[in-house]
């Protein structure tokens, strides 16, 4: 395969129709975009002689990373980087350090931090620029490795590497996620002292940090400072964050003022901005504004996406506007190209919450007939209903169905500890040994270990029912569990031969 790096690069608008038909990313995603299919298509591409441009690889890498397909992204970058590296060596040119920074990030996501550290160590010293250091720092921050992140940024300062807002933003995000927002104002002051210009993201994180310690007026002052600075233009996300802060504080009038500013900033009619407006107006309880923004969204996006309907119907349900949610749902049914079970689940959940079980069942069946099979969330909805109504066997059936389906993409679904405890307490109260054992057989399909609480409840159920189980001690040993003294006393009776 030839990798075209040199000569004039085509602009996006001038790319040929043939390129658009045979674009690398289209080839990789043509079978649906799962990791397995993407890997298979990538192998075919690598075997072929198709000419690939560097900007084309860049486009594809971006799409792979957005979809969190890190393994195929790393493989693709590794193969193409090797070819590019050989071509550049023949021409006596330096390699792009930005590619190495991306490579390091992908190694971390696909193979873990130790592999990324080894990659960084093996780089020539000339390649260890602020970009590569910044990429490693970001990896540490993503994995919440505070000590390593702090040590690395101090090393970057000691090496006099040019620091932009990006490494500081990574560190501030780390402190936000790890419950240390009080450290963020000091970082902002350091940025100012070092003449590092804050960007929109910096201001947003700073504002969020102040709000998290209930300094709402401080968050407002951040916006004022941003305006005075003048170098960073606030965008709609700034006012979305500010509105969220006011909503959480119960300051709905100020929240709605911020939402008006958000609308003014949404000159490009960003879909996500519309969705935030609907969600946040919903949280202020302003149903009229919810519908007004929804009409604006529909005008801007006549082919309205499933995710937008999902968001709108959820907001209407939260506002207890069930007739409005039903009407919006019917509109979606009439125009959707794919019947998305997630959209149906919102209304199914609303029916179940209000005790309208038959309507919930009817909608589940309708969705199934339209090709949208119930997913784990669907069964969770019915599970909660049956637990509240005391229909425990039906609840167990829902657990079995949810486990059987899983969460998708090969991920298992497991009931929460609360659900397991509720069901085990029911079996214990009813002295239902067979029911408890049957439930545990279902549970084993989704968890590696049943846990000591489950077994202690099982032992109490056996004891209450006057049933024996000579193998109970062996089961505990296999699970490597140590039960309480009270349970050990009950075992004496339960384990009788």
What is the pLDDT, as a whole number, of residue 10?
42
Calculate mean pLDDT across residues 272-289: 97
Nearest to 5 by CA among 114, 81, 115, 104: 81
CB distance 161 to 153 below 8 Å:
no
Cβ-proximal residues to 119 (8 Å cutoff; 6+ apart), any chain: 103, 104, 107
Q: DSSP letter string over 337-397?
A: SS--HHHHHHHHHHHHHTT-HHHHHHHHHHHHHTT----HHHHHHHHHHHHHHT-HHHHHH
Quickly state the pLDDT bin for 38 (edges 50, 70, 90).
low
What is the pLDDT, as a whole number, of residue 454?
94
Calculate mean pLDDT across residues 102-125: 89
List pLDDT tens digits, range 76-93.
666 665 454 444 444 444
Does residue 50 have a pLDDT over 90?
no
List pLDDT tens digits, range 129-181.
999 999 999 999 999 999 999 999 999 999 999 999 999 999 999 999 999 99
Rg over CA atoms, the chain: 28
Quickly state the pLDDT bin for 356 (edges 50, 70, 90).
very high
Pairing mode of beta strands 52-53, 3-4 = parallel
What is the pLDDT, as a whole number, of residue 150?
95
Q: For tokens 């702090």, what's the residue? A: 150
Total-model pTM: 0.77
Q: Is 431 helix (H, G, I), strand (E, B) or coil?
A: coil
What is the pLDDT, as a whole number, of residue 230?
82
List pLDDT tens digits, range 335-345.
998 899 999 99
103: burial class by Cβ within 10 Å (0-12, 13-18, 19+)?
buried
Calculate mean pLDDT across residues 113-139: 91
Does residue 21 have a pLDDT over 50?
no
Among positive and negative, which fits the CA dihedral 479, 483, 489, 494? negative
Does residue 19 have a pLDDT over 70?
no
What is the pLDDT, as a whole number, of residue 11?
45
């Amino acid at each position: 395969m030839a990798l075209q790096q040199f000569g004039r690069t085509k602009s996006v608008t001038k790319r040929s129709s043939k390129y658009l038909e045979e674009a690398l990313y289209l080839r990789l995603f043509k079978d649906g975009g799962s990791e397995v299919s993407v890997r298979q298509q990538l192998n075919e591409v690598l075997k072929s002689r198709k000419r690939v441009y560097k900007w084309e690889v860049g486009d594809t890498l971006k799409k792979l990373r957005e979809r969190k397909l890190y393994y195929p992204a790393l493989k693709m970058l590794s193969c193409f980087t090797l070819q590019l590296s050989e071509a550049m060596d023949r021409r006596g040119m330096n390699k792009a350090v930005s590619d190495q920074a991306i490579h390091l990030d992908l190694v971390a996501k696909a193979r873990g931090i130790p592999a990324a550290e080894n990659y960084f160590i093996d780089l020539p010293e000339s390649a260890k620029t602020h970009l590569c250091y910044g990429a490693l720092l970001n990896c540490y921050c993503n994995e919440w490795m505070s000590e390593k992140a702090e040590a690395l940024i101090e090393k970057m300062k000691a090496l006099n590497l040019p620091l932009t807002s990006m490494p500081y933003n990574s560190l501030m995000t780390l402190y936000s996620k790890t419950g240390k927002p009080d450290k963020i104002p000091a970082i902002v002051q350091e940025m100012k002292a070092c003449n590092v210009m804050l960007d929109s993201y910096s201001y947003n994180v700073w504002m969020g940090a102040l709000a998290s310690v209930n300094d709402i007026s401080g968050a407002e002052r951040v916006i004022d400072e941003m305006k005075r600075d003048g170098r960073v233009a606030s965008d709609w996300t700034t006012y979305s964050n500010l509105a969220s802060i006011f909503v959480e504080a119960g300051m709905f009038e100020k929240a709605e003022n911020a939402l008006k500013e958000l609308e003014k900033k949404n000159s490009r009619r960003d879909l996500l901005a519309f969705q935030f407006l609907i969600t946040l107006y919903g949280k202020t309880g302003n149903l009229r504004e919810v519908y007004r923004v929804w009409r604006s969204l529909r005008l801007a996006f006549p082919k309205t996406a499933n995710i937008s309907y999902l968001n709108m119907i959820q907001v209407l349900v939260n506002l207890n506007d069930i007739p409005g949610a039903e009407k919006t749902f019917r509109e979606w049914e009439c125009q959707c190209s794919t019947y998305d079970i997630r959209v149906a689940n919102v209304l199914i959940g609303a029916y179940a919450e209000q005790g309208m079980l038959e309507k919930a069942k009817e909608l589940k069946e309708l969705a199934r007939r339209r090709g949208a099979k119930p997913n784990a969330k669907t069964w969770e909805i019915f599970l909660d209903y049956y637990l509240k109504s005391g229909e425990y066997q039906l609840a167990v059936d829902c657990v079995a169905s949810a486990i059987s389906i899983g969460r998708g993409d090969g991920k298992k679904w497991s009931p929460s500890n609360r659900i397991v405890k509720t069901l085990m307490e029911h079996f214990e109260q009813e002295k239902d040994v067979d029911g408890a054992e049957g439930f545990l057989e279902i549970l084993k399909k989704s968890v590696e270990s049943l846990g000591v609480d489950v077994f202690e409840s099982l032992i109490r159920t056996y004891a209450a029912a006057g049933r024996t189980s000579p193998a109970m001690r062996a089961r505990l040993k296999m699970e490597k569990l140590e039960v309480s003294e009270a349970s050990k006393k009950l075992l004496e009776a339960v384990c009788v031969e």
